[in-house]
Amino acid sequence: MKSWNVGILLFDQVEILDFTGPYEVFGLAVHDRYKPTERSLFNVTTISESGNLVVAENNLKVTPDYSLATAPAYDLLVIPGGPGVRKALLNEALVNWVRARSGDTPWITSVCTGSLLLAQTGLLDEKKATTHIDSIDWMRTQYPAIDVIDDVKYVDEDRIVTSAGVSNGMHMSLHMVDRLAGREVAQDVSHIMQFETDFDEYAC
């Protein structure tokens, strides 16, 4: 079974569980757990604009692995949300980087209001998407080209998958493990985390 490179974009005032939830899900996905042949299936690293320390919500300090300029190629990109998204939407470097990376990254995902950053790039135009429950109406108003979906954990539009708020990023990540590594691996991660999910609960 092959392995995949996952990049998680960070910025100041990013919501903690938005990025640590997916980090944990992908990090726990292994082949042959507890056997001598056990190996990780996802290599997860983090990126910020400059590569310097990021101050997340509640003053959690995180040192990213890469800057936008030094980030390697990824198979899957995770865009988290949080209060910092408001500033990120106005950051042309971040918006342009996400847009550019979409061309050579097979899967683009978002958690919570991270979908607003994807919306800003135009990648969600004419697609279904979701976001945090408190930002649904704002997303509909600001990005009328998007078919915004209520009351779902995540929306799968093939290579672009958006999730609702905070903990739903873990449901979305388990869904992606299911898609890429298979149901058995995804169920194993769900078991290890003691985090139950319905692998078929999303908007088509």
pLDDT of residue 200: 76
Distances (CA, A) of 57 to 61, 90, 141: 9, 19, 26
pLDDT of residue 100: 97
Torsion of CA 117, 104, 149, 122, to 10 degrees: 50
Half-sphere exposure of 175 (CA within 13 A, CB side): 27
pLDDT of residue 198: 86
pLDDT of residue 172: 97
pLDDT of residue 203: 61
Tokens found for residue 164:
């609702």
pLDDT digits (tens, 9 = 90+) for 56-115: 999 999 999 999 999 999 999 999 999 999 999 999 999 999 999 999 999 999 999 999
pLDDT digits (tens, 9 = 90+) for 98-114: 999 999 999 999 999 99
pLDDT of residue 110: 98
Asked if residues 163 and 183 have their Cβ atoms less than 8 Å apart, the reply is no
pLDDT of residue 22: 98
Q: Which residues of the chain have pLDDT under 70?
A: 202-204
